[in-house]
Structure 1
Amino acid sequence: MRGKKGTVLTFAEKCKNILASNWQGYLNTIKADSKGSKEDIYTSKVEYIIKKGKPYIWVPEKDLHNMNAIIDERGSFAVSSPFPGPLARVLRSLEKFPSRVALTGDVVPLKEEKAKSAAGILRDIIHSEQETISESPHTVSGVLSSSALSFTSRIEHLQQLLADYDKYLVYKFDMSSCTFIDCNGGKYEVDIEDMETSKADSLAPFSARLIDGINQSDARRRALMLFCFVHFNTNAKDAYILSVDRKGFDVLGKVAGQVLKDGSPQYQWKEFRFTFKEEARDVESFCCQLVEMEEDAVKEVSSYSGLG
């Protein structure tokens, strides 16, 4: 493996990356009417952006959340890490959920001027991400080109949100607690101060396209299988990239488990962590190091087989 120390993000950093990678989540507010709050919870999918580490949520003007927030500001917000295309099918077959963030706090409406400011931030985010993609070298486009855009095009969703701006009310979500939930359902409480001081990776907004671009490519998935062999001495029958971050990436590999009575192997999915020599400061750095690892793995396997 490529280094041991500091190879995994903190839970706060994982939460920040998940929030920065997605554009939609599930908002929960307490049902209310003219007489006040009720016990029931109302849930719907809403779209959002992250500004200075906080979610700013766009709620359709006729949505029940708007009435609820007037009577009772308390709410919760849940966001999943991206799991597009082939990865989604594998996770469903395993009855696993993607890693996610669960927040509790207050749903605070923005006044008109601040709402316009949030729209300006949204416009800047769209421009910045478009610029990053358009100016990317061949190494990046080579990884992203296999992605099914209809599943992973964050920019297109945000553009539509901006175009329909007048149909929404904008809220700031003031966090009071944060929980990180992994793929196996493990829950980890995250200190709010850590959430405030930690930062999301600059490649987080592109993680859905990176994940899908790799998983949609047969050649790149074969490379993931080589990684399992070279770095863990494990033969993987199949492999998908599970998550990406500045320090490396996680792979879901299909490996042999117990041998059945007839002598045939029983396969199981197992997670593997791969780390970079240097932290990937942006999407270009991530793709360059991935390609380098692919080339190194091919050379090493060739030397094993006496072909090098």
Structure 2
Amino acid sequence: MKIAGKAVVLPYAERCKNILVSNWRGTLHTIKADAKGSKGDIYSSKIKYFFNKGRPYVWVLEGDKHNVNTVIDERGSLAVTSPFPGPLASLLKSINKLPSRIALTGDVIPVRHEKAHSVAENLRETILSEEKTLKQSSYSVSGIFSSSAGCSSRGESLQEVLDGGDRYVAYKFDIRSCSYIDNGGSEHEVDVAEIKASKADQLSPYAVKLIDGINQSRARRRALMLFCLVHMNTKARDAFILSVDRKGFDVLGKVPRLVTTEGLNDHQWREFRFTFTEEANDIETFCRLLVEMEEEALKTVSSYSGLTF
């Protein structure tokens, strides 16, 4: 299975939708308030959310100040990043690189009891569906996911909301504007209507486990290094998968930057895009295509006369 000759990336609206579906943690910002009204200062805290039917449903701990702030002023913003689990988090921190992320502005509206129950049931059904998919998965999928045993999935983490260990207040976040910030820090305004109209990749709910499973496996990271050599003609000393989608995946490779006066190679982390020749519309297809790429890259490298790697 060969990769496409030209790197293909998703439109910004679809990238935003994938981030919202693949993650479940975000930072909520509301305007500080007291009995006299809004003060203009911003209060922020980590929250859990579930993206359902075009909007995030946010769960705020019962004692959190957001619950007071939104009574006075319902305006808020929500920041969500592309998943960066396990060793990827340490790597990004060490090179001062931020993952792609989105910033939403909108209104934080309390969810009535009946609606909150409906959202909770939708979440429960989604978690059960994802668990069923993983139980019925092929060896190629389970092989990758088994390397990510210590990483919680979206469903496992949101199950805590349903279990009732902590008391939460539920809100819906009505989106008014959206900005996509790429890995380089460039900001792109995205039409909210386009986000609502787009569909998230079916593999988005499993992105965290996919990314971590690949990065926790030394053999699979070595395969990423082979991809850089075979398809990008670049010899990487190390590599990590950065993001996944139905079109392909992004890789951070540690590659030569220059040769010093002492003759020693200086290295930098550089991003590479690998595009499939067919779309991976589910995790089975993604893992199959990845395994085919690994096998093909190994055969190609093995055929190079006198090459050591």
Deviations 1:164-202 (A, max 9, x none): 287111111011110111122111111111111111111
Alignment match, 2:128: 127
Amino acid at match of 2:285: S
Alignment match, 1:77: 78
CA contact 1:148–1:212 (8 Å) conserved in 2: no
Aligned residues: 306
Deviations 1:204-223 (A, max 9, x none): 11111111100110110110
Structure 2 Cα separation of the partners of residues 304 and 110 of structure 1:
62
Structure 1 Cα separation of the partners of residues 168 and 5 of structure 2:
47
Q: TM-score, normalising length from structure 2?
A: 0.96
SS in 1 for 2:279: coil
CA contact 1:84–1:152 (8 Å) conserved in 2: no
Q: Does 1:247 align with 2:247?
A: yes
Structure 2 Cα separation of the partners of residues 122 and 195 of structure 1:
21
Q: Point out 4+ residue stretches in structure 1 off by more than 6 angstroms.
A: none
Deviations 1:214-243 (A, max 9, x none): 011011011000000110111111100000
CA contact 2:6–2:275 (8 Å) conserved in 1: no
Cα offset for 1:14?
0.8
Alignment match, 2:32: 31
Amino acid at match of 2:51: I
Structure 2 Cα separation of the partners of residues 97 and 77 of structure 1:
17
SS in 1 for 2:107: strand
Amino acid at match of 2:197: T
Structure 2 Cα separation of the partners of residues 139 and 305 of structure 1:
30
Amino acid at match of 1:77: L
Amino acid at match of 1:126: I
Alignment match, 2:48: 47
Structure 2 Cα separation of the partners of residues 163 and 198 of structure 1:
31
Cα offset for 1:92?
0.6
Q: Does 1:193 align with 2:221?
A: no
Structure 1 stretches lacking a partner, 5+ long: none
CA contact 1:73–1:106 (8 Å) conserved in 2: yes
* Structure 1 residues 6 and 296, CA gap change in structure 2 (3 angstroms): closer
Cα offset for 1:301?
1.1
Deviations 1:144-165 (A, max 9, x none): 111143x333222111111128
Deviations 1:247-291 (A, max 9, x none): 100000000111111011110110000011210111111000000
Structure 1 Cα separation of the partners of residues 165 and 59 of structure 2:
9
Alignment match, 1:206: 206
Structure 1 Cα separation of the partners of residues 165 and 216 of structure 2:
33
CA contact 1:248–1:276 (8 Å) conserved in 2: yes
Deviations 1:47-94 (A, max 9, x none): 010111210001112211111111111000001111111111110111
Amino acid at match of 2:286: F
Structure 2 Cα separation of the partners of residues 273 and 305 of structure 1:
27
Cα offset for 1:40?
0.8
SS in 1 for 2:185: coil
Structure 2 Cα separation of the partners of residues 262 and 48 of structure 1:
52
Cα offset for 1:38?
0.9
Alignment match, 2:155: 155
Identity %: 61
Alignment match, 1:171: 171
Structure 1 Cα separation of the partners of residues 153 and 8 of structure 2:
29
Q: Return 152-161 or 238-247, whichever deviates more.
A: 152-161
Alignment match, 1:292: 292
Alignment match, 2:141: 140
CA contact 2:100–2:181 (8 Å) conserved in 1: yes
Q: Return 158-167 or 121-130, whichever deviates more.
A: 158-167
Structure 1 Cα separation of the partners of residues 5 and 45 of structure 2:
41
Cα offset for 1:4?
4.9
Amino acid at match of 2:104: L
CA contact 2:50–2:123 (8 Å) conserved in 1: yes
CA contact 2:108–2:173 (8 Å) conserved in 1: yes
Structure 2 Cα separation of the partners of residues 45 and 216 of structure 1:
26
Q: Aligned-pair RMSD on alpha carbons?
A: 1.5
* Structure 1 residues 177 and 4, CA gap change in structure 2 (3 angstroms): farther
Structure 2 Cα separation of the partners of residues 152 and 183 of structure 1:
24
SS in 2 for 1:236: coil
Alignment match, 1:65: 66
Alignment match, 2:102: 101
Structure 2 Cα separation of the partners of residues 100 and 257 of structure 1:
27
